[in-house]
């Protein structure tokens, strides 16, 4: 009896999520991840199953002498194919060199998952793994 109730509740939850749709924060070329990027929410279309965030580091769109660089954040609903394409397109530009213009993109799944712009968090894990492996190899080298 209890398992039937749990199964029914999980089916109802799945149906509600399918009908309601994904919600993402949306904004376009805002000066940082503030204000509009944190308060404007959109219910995505049925086929849009991801939230896409892009961040760009560059000068103002119009030329001014001595213009300082700043972050520009954009967020929107997206599909898996679009996310893959945009991430692939920006991969060569995603380098975080402060004196050069750069652009990075990331996607996530889940309601309002794009509140924070967490670009580069997965690379931190790989860097820690690289350091750990290097330390092990150096310690093994001292034994031989």
75: which 2 tokens? 């967020």
pLDDT at 12: 53
Q: Average pLDDT, stretch 103-118?
A: 94
- Find residue 52's DSSP bridge partners: 76, 107
pLDDT tops 50 at residue 130: no
- Confidence at 59, pLDDT banded by 50, 70, 90: confident
- Confidence at 122, pLDDT banded by 50, 70, 90: very low
pLDDT higher at 6 or 103: 103
Residues 6+ apart with CB under 8 A from 12: none
Considering only CA atoms, which of 127, 99, 105 is closest in space to residue 117? 105
Decide: pTM greater than 0.85. no
Distance (Å, whole) CA 108 – CA 106:
7
CA angle at residue 102 from 101 to 103, to 5 degrees? 140
Q: Average pLDDT, stretch 118-139?
A: 47
The answer to whether the beta carbons of residues 96 and 120 sit under 8 Å apart is: yes
Q: Write phi, then psi, for 22 (nearest 5 degrees).
A: -70, 145
* Structure confidence by residue, pLDDT tens digits, 87-106: 999 999 999 888 889 999 99
- Confidence at 118, pLDDT banded by 50, 70, 90: confident
């Amino acid at each position: 009896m209890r398992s039937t109730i749990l199964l029914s509740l999980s089916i109802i939850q799945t149906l509600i999520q399918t009908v309601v749709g994904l919600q993402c924060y949306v904004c376009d070329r805002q000066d940082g991840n503030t204000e509009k990027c944190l308060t404007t929410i959109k219910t995505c279309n049925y086929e849009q199953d991801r939230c896409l965030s892009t961040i760009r580091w560059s000068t103002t769109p119009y030329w001014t002498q001595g213009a300082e660089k700043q972050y520009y954040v954009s967020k929107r609903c997206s599909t898996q194919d679009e996310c893959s394409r945009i991430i692939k397109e920006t991969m060569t530009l995603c380098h975080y060199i402060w004196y050069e213009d750069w652009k990075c993109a990331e996607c996530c799944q889940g309601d309002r998952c794009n509140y924070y712009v967490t670009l580069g968090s997965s690379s931190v894990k790989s860097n820690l793994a690289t350091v750990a492996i290097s330390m092990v190899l150096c310690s093994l080298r001292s034994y031989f």
